[in-house]
Amino acid sequence: MSAAVPDLRTAIPLFARHLDRERNASPHTVRAYTRDLEQFEAWASAELKRTVTPAEVDHLLVRSFLAHLHHHGLKKASSARKLATLRTFFRFLAREGVVERNPARALLSPRLEKRLPAQLEEGEAAALVEVPGDGPVAVRARAVLELLYGTGIRCAELTGLDLPEVDMDNRMVRVLGKGRKERVVPFGHAAQRALEAWLPVRESCRPREDALFVTRTGHRLSDRAVRRLVGQRVLAISLEKHVSPHTLRHAFATHLLQRGADLRAIQELLGHASLSTTQKYTHVNARHILEIYKKAHPRA
């Protein structure tokens, strides 16, 4: 990138392209980052009453933006996310020589309450993935959900899978994760059976590309379609919990840990760069053990 970026508005699509091509971010992530940056650019331009260049943004302007959000009632989690977006954006611009320093780096994120993700018991996860019916939509839904729960891969990783990346004989998938890091993840017999049922249905859709999961017209299945599918299953089984595709990823890790899997192995399977990211599941497991203790010990 040339260091001569005329204004913030011009820099945003360049950053979005970097997220997509270099960091392999999901379409949902790219849209979220872009929305946050467009909001900041619009606010900064209105505040300064002119077009703003990246070099003109300092920590005081970023702090004023966060104060503006707080004044209008934005939750701490949303403010923290927008600050993280600005940090990442200006880190990219600094690396490219557009700005000398990252103006958002020194600002502290709002302190957030640490919340554990929604938990699925093993029986709830089983009920969620066991989609009844043998029609094309039901067969595809079963395969999608079995693979999500059976591998712990992200929604974007699942929709990005191509047929050659699935080894049915050895029950393995080759996944391209965040930062275009590749990993191989095994799946079980349940997911294998679901995929074997899906593949002939897939061919009947006359797929237009190598995508593992396609629509009835042969196009690659989208993240949004998978999220909608999960929501429909939650309603169908009357599960009173907020469940998303990511919940199945949490369930995958939690249930492995509860059954004695090594934390390092779970880290590799999930594709976490740092073990500290995986360690949140130890808190989930501790809660599970405490619940067992309270139910089982005579003097609990």
What is the reported pLDDT for 115? Answer: 59
What is the reported pLDDT for 217? Answer: 94
- What's the distance, CA 291 to chain centroid? 29
- Using left for φ > 0, alpha for ψ between -120 and 50, and beta otherwise, residue 84 falls in alpha
* Contact (Cβ atoms closer than 8 angstroms) between residue 161 and residue 211: yes
* Contact (Cβ atoms closer than 8 angstroms) between residue 158 and residue 170: no
Handedness of CA 3, 6, 7, 8 (dihedral sign): negative
Q: What is the pLDDT of residues 164-198, one digit of tens each?
A: 999 999 999 999 887 778 899 999 999 999 999 99
pTM of the model: 0.65
Residue 132's alpha-carbon distances to 123, 137, 236, in angstroms, are: 16, 10, 10
Distance CA(222)–CA(214), nearest Å, equals 9
Domains and CATH numbers, the chain: 8-95 (1.10.150), 122-295 (1.10.443.10)
* For residue 140, pLDDT beyond 90: yes
**Across 138-147, 161-170, 242-251, 256-265, least confident range:** 256-265
Catalytic residue among 81, 272, 280, 288: 272
Catalytic residue among 178, 219, 227, 288: 178
Our answer to whether residue 281 is catalytic in this structure is: yes
* For residue 31, pLDDT beyond 80: yes
Instruction: Give the closest residue to 148 by CA, choosing from 170, 176, 129.
Output: 129
What is the reported pLDDT for 143? Answer: 97
Q: Which long-range contacts (CB under 8 A, 24 or more apart) does 178-181 make?
A: 178/23, 178/24, 178/25, 178/271, 178/273, 179/23, 179/24, 179/273, 180/22, 180/23, 180/24, 181/271, 181/273
The encoded tokens of residue 208 equal: 């237009």
What is the reported pLDDT for 150? Answer: 95
Distance CA(239)–CA(235), nearest Å, equals 6
Our answer to whether residue 246 is catalytic in this structure is: yes
The encoded tokens of residue 121 equal: 């018991």
Catalytic residue among 142, 202, 233, 249: 249
Which one is predicted more confidently, 300 or 244? 244
Dihedral of CA atoms 226, 232, 237, 242 in degrees, nearest 10, equals 70
Our answer to whether residue 149 is catalytic in this structure is: no
Residue 52's alpha-carbon distances to 44, 61, 258, in angstroms, are: 7, 11, 52
**Across 82-86, 167-171, 222-226, 279-283, least confident range:** 279-283
Our answer to whether residue 71 is catalytic in this structure is: no
Distance CA(288)–CA(280), nearest Å, equals 13
Distance CA(19)–CA(257), nearest Å, equals 32
Catalytic residue among 9, 246, 280, 288: 246
Catalytic residue among 154, 220, 233, 255: 154
- Sequence-distant (6+) residues with CB within 8 A of 130 are 142
Q: What is the mean pLDDT of the chain?
A: 88
What is the reported pLDDT for 6? Answer: 80
The encoded tokens of residue 132 equal: 């009844």
Mean pLDDT of 17-32: 88
H/E stretch holding 185 reads: strand 182-186
Our answer to whether residue 272 is catalytic in this structure is: yes
H/E stretch holding 284 reads: helix 280-296
Indicate the DSSP class of residue 221: P
Which one is predicted more confidently, 22 or 163? 163
What is the reported pLDDT for 2? Answer: 46
Written as one string, the DSSP assignment of 91-149 is HHHHHTTSSSS-TTTTSPPPP----PPP---HHHHHHHH-----SHHHHHHHHHHHHHH
Our answer to whether residue 171 is catalytic in this structure is: no
